[in-house]
Amino acid sequence: MTTGTTTVDVRPIGAGASEISIAGDVTSASEEPLMEAYGRASADGATVIVLDFSRLDYMNSGGIGLLVTLLVRVQRQGQKLMAVGLSEHYRQILALTRLDEAIGIHATEAEALSAAGV
């Protein structure tokens, strides 16, 4: 799905895991496609949601707020949220906001799945 400059794709990546691939910009305008993608990723009972940021161009404070909203939804469902493909810049931002304490940050999809026990 594409909205403005945000594109999200969902795919299963293993037993009990789904990946949401995010391309373009993540801002407050990205709420609908991101939350819809989360719904599709969770539809088959996934316990691990991996966000792939390898094609991310830009994320502002509204996008960080969406990550917090998504994290709350994931935690309420008893799921784990992982992130891969983050540039050093966005790794630092997640560290500054302490989101890295709640979202597992990994270099690759395989590392994220291994850390999640999938």
pLDDT digits (tens, 9 = 90+) for 47-103: 999 999 999 999 999 999 999 999 999 999 999 999 999 999 999 999 999 999 999
Residue 117's pLDDT is 85
Q: Which residues pair with 26 in a beta bridge?
A: 59
Average pLDDT, the chain: 93
Model confidence at 118, in pLDDT bands (50, 70, 90)?
A: confident
3-state secondary structure of 103: coil
Q: What percent of the chain has pLDDT over 90?
A: 88
Task: Specify the pTM.
Answer: 0.92
What 3-state DSSP class applies to 65?
A: helix
In this prediction, residues 91-117 reach a mean pLDDT of 93
